[in-house]
């Protein structure tokens, strides 16, 4: 599986592009560790990080997950952010769809932003891309219905799954980002995958150093999206 993921590349339909404007019981969500964060003035901005093991911090120490790293960066930028980690290792898009409304309903209030990242386990399990698309679209419909802005973190299909599957799977994230006015990060592992120091020995999950690289890329997207009121956010 490590070899499979290390071989990830754009294939089939060519490179997926971002939208023009924005180049059992469910597990309880948990706040990102904030021990190293300095206090920040201003109203709290609540961010929900909803995904799989790449969000949950698989194989990492407390405080090293992607939501933790994003919270630190947002606070360093002067945004009084609390990032809630609702990553569940092994989750497919179908599992995420089942627990999304439960998670939202059990937050203290409606979040100012959701960072959504599911589908990688679908690809590894060779779940039909149409099912992944439908599940992600349903989750985005829920978030649209609650007027919650979204940053969508994408995944790419492994070339050994064939060009037809790659064409169908790789188009999911840019298509849905355009349709739902979500800000898109096309490939969550960009900058970490294929670099041994940035990945755990399994070759699938980022190391603590890899998380920092990913967070460096994602944090500005969150900063910009948090600056847009939900009702007035545009892709322009």
**SS3 state at 185:** strand
52, 53, 112, 233: the catalytic one is: 53
Contact 10, 16 (CB under 8 A): yes
62, 147, 164, 202: the catalytic one is: 202
Closest among 135, 66, 132, 145 to 104, alpha carbons compared = 145
Our answer to whether residue 93 is catalytic in this structure is: no
Handedness of CA 64, 108, 224, 27 (dihedral sign): positive
Our answer to whether residue 233 is catalytic in this structure is: no
Contact 122, 92 (CB under 8 A): yes
The edge-to-edge listing of strands for the beta sheet with 45-51 is: 30-31, 81-87, 45-51, 113-117, 150-153, 183-185
Instruction: Answer left, alpha or beta for residue 152, where phi above 0 means left and psi between -120 and 50 means alpha.
Output: beta
Our answer to whether residue 180 is catalytic in this structure is: no
* End-to-end CA gap in the chain: 39
52, 205, 207, 233: the catalytic one is: 205
Write out the catalytic residue numbers: 53, 202, 205
């Amino acid at each position: 599986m490590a070899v499979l993921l290390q071989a990830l590349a754009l294939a089939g339909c060519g490179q997926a592009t971002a939208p023009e404007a924005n180049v059992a019981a469910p597990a309880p969500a948990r706040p990102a560790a904030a021990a190293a964060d300095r206090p920040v003035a201003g109203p709290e901005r609540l961010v929900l990080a909803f995904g799989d093991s790449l969000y949950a911090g698989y194989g990492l120490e407390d405080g090293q997950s992607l939501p933790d790293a994003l919270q630190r960066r947002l606070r360093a930028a002067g945004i009084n952010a609390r990032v809630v980690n609702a990553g569940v290792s092994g989750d497919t898009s179908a599992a995420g769809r089942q627990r999304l409304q439960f998670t939202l309903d059990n937050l203290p209030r409606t979040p100012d932003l959701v960072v959504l990242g599911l589908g990688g386990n679908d690809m590894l399990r060779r779940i039909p891309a149409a099912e992944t698309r439908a599940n992600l679209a349903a989750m985005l419909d829920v978030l649209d219905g609650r007027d919650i802005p979204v940053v969508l973190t994408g995944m790419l299909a492994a070339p050994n799954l064939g060009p037809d599957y790659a064409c169908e799977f790789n188009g999911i994230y840019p298509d849905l980002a355009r349709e739902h006015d979500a800000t898109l990060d096309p490939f969550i592992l960009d900058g970490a995958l294929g670099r041994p120091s940035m990945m755990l020995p399994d070759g699938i999950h980022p190391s603590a150093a890899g998380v920092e690289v990913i967070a460096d890329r994602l944090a500005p997207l969150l900063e910009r999206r948090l600056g847009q009121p939900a009702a007035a956010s545009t892709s322009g």
